[in-house]
Amino acid sequence: MIFHALYLLYKVPPELSKSQLSSPYLSNYMTAMTLASASAVAFCCVNMAHATLSECIHNGIMRETAIMRFGQSQSTWRPCKANALGFANKMRVLRCCMGLRRAYLVCPILLVLLVGASLTALLPPAEDQRGFGVLGVLRRATSQKEDPAQGRHGDSTEDEQRFTIIIQTYNRTDILLKLLNHYQAVPHLQKIIIVWNNIGEQTPLKLWNSLGPHPVPVLFKEQTINQMRNRLQPFPEIETDAVLMLDDDTLVSVPDISFAFSVWKQFPDQIVGFVPRKHVSTPGGVYSYGSFELQDPETGGGDKYSMVLVGAAFFHRRYLQLFQDQPPAVHALVDETQNCDDIAMNFAVALYLRKHSTGSVNKPSGVFVKPVDLRNLEKDARSGYQGMWHRPEHLLQRSFCLNRLTQIYGFMPLCFSNLMVSQFGFPSYANHKSRGTIMDFGQSEFSIHGPV
């Protein structure tokens, strides 16, 4: 029973917290805990009964020995009477021990079985497939996963269970050190690659190393020119399939990262991230860039997104080479605007998925994961450098990129989706906006979900 309990506990994925467990895992967990409790109580009861039995037998033997010694000291004592008394004492000891064993064993075991049956009755069905939230996502079989470049994954390897963080930074060294310290606590993280766009300036590697030993190695990649698309290079130091790309002013909580990584393993051919956006078309065929709004699907009609920005997202490392293989006009557009590399990546992924689609429905380029704690640390930077989204021409540039990329590829490949994966179910809903069209996810505690 104990070994069966340990086996069931082993089946619970270590990267999933209790709030993220799907019904089969929860059933195994509760069953294992019940079996373990029953085994522990039964073991204690057996030990108590054994100790009591030993004590009773010992007391009976001592009494019989004392009587025999007393009989030997008295000339009138007969051996047959001593034997009769000894037999009677043995029977009395056995009756006493049998009663104690029943009292110590039967009642606790019945109580444990009753509690276990009650807990099992409260569990939801293991094969409940209602909804499209994370419970449905995590129930999917993980034995075979789709490979963005080669169709199907084989057996799981160590690299498939870990990931690499890429952070491109410019003029935010103080925030960078804070981020590096924060991400050291992320499980399954193999290494952190810093794309150093401060041309001519020394990296803070010595300062970072002087702060003490760190469990996750940090690698600085010095660049010769300050370009936005420097971060989308297929660095040879990347040894994991999964890449988590983060902006240098964005702090994502450790539970959010772990949860998003578990979701990415279910959607390895898509961009899985925390910041969705959409394109809006006009009757004249012109596209504009818009934000995704969290809405109640019953009262607000819901909303859809067509992009997941790579500034806070997981994707397969082969998509870095995929971006390098895009037409030169795409790279020229990104260099000209110093913007839109994330939009161009969504175009490239959407085109790839369309080309390798096996069904009649095209997949969207990304999957939106609702963050619980995502913060913008820009105001904490001593340099005072502000991101591009503060510029008045930012949204115009993004809309221009949408139309220019559509011209380069000849059509609009982006597909809409309203799927949102959340850690904590799907409670109430609301729109949460901060400045302009930038959504303040750090303050939002609402979520929506739906089919792709």
Does 449 fall in a domain?
no
The listed range with the strongest mean pLDDT (14-18, 170-174, 355-359) is: 170-174
Strands 366-369 and 420-421 turn out to be: parallel
Mean residue pLDDT across the chain? 74
Residues 226 and 322 occupy one common structural domain: yes
Contact at 8 Å (CB) between 439 and 432? yes
Residues 52 and 141 occupy one common structural domain: no
CA 450/CA 305 separation, integer angstroms: 12
Residues 48 and 178 occupy one common structural domain: no
pLDDT of residue 269: 96
Tell me the whole-structure pTM to 2 decimals: 0.63
Does 42 fall in a domain?
yes
Report which secondary-structure segment, H or E, holds 279: strand 276-281
Residues 84 and 205 occupy one common structural domain: no
Does 238 fall in a domain?
yes
Higher pLDDT, 268 or 50: 268
Residue 291 scores a pLDDT above 70: yes
Residues 230 and 144 occupy one common structural domain: yes
Residues 361 and 305 occupy one common structural domain: yes
Does 127 fall in a domain?
no
> For the residues 418-434, what does the mean pLDDT come to?
61
Active-site residue, from 249, 256, 269, 342: 342
CA 289/CA 437 separation, integer angstroms: 10
Residue 400 scores a pLDDT above 90: yes
Final residue before a domain boundary, out of 122, 151, 168: 122
Does 210 fall in a domain?
yes
Does 129 fall in a domain?
no
Does 452 fall in a domain?
no
CATH of the domain at 430: 3.90.550.10
Per the annotation, the verdict on 174 as an active-site residue is no
Final residue before a domain boundary, out of 81, 97, 122: 122
The listed range with the strongest mean pLDDT (40-49, 71-80, 104-113, 328-337) is: 328-337
pLDDT of residue 144: 40
Residues 114 and 199 occupy one common structural domain: no
pLDDT of residue 227: 94
How many helices (H) and strands (E) are present in the chain, helices listed first? 11, 15
401 band by pLDDT with thresholds 50, 70 and 90:
very high
> For the residues 72-81, what does the mean pLDDT come to?
48
Residue 140 scores a pLDDT above 70: no
Residue 352 scores a pLDDT above 70: yes
Q: Which domain holds residue 271?
A: 134-443
Both ends of the chain: CA-CA distance in Å?
A: 43
Residues 358 and 256 occupy one common structural domain: yes
pLDDT of residue 361: 83
Final residue before a domain boundary, out of 122, 157, 176: 122
Residue 318 scores a pLDDT above 60: yes
Higher pLDDT, 419 or 447: 419
Amino acid residing at 354: R
pLDDT of residue 329: 98
Count the domains in the chain. Answer: 2
In this structure, the number of other CB atoms found within 10 A of the CB of residue 155 comes to 7
Give the pLDDT confidence of 164-175 residue by residue, as tens digits.
999 999 988 989
Lowest-confidence region among 132-136, 159-163, 179-183, 256-260? 132-136
Does 267 fall in a domain?
yes
pLDDT of residue 176: 94
Residues 110 and 182 occupy one common structural domain: no
Residue 408 scores a pLDDT above 80: yes
Residues 217 and 112 occupy one common structural domain: no
Higher pLDDT, 289 or 106: 289
pLDDT of residue 9: 45
Give the pLDDT confidence of 81-135 residue by residue, as tens digits.
455 455 555 556 555 555 555 555 666 676 667 666 666 555 544 433 333 333 3
Residues 328 and 307 occupy one common structural domain: yes
Residues 15 and 153 occupy one common structural domain: no
> For the residues 210-220, what does the mean pLDDT come to?
92
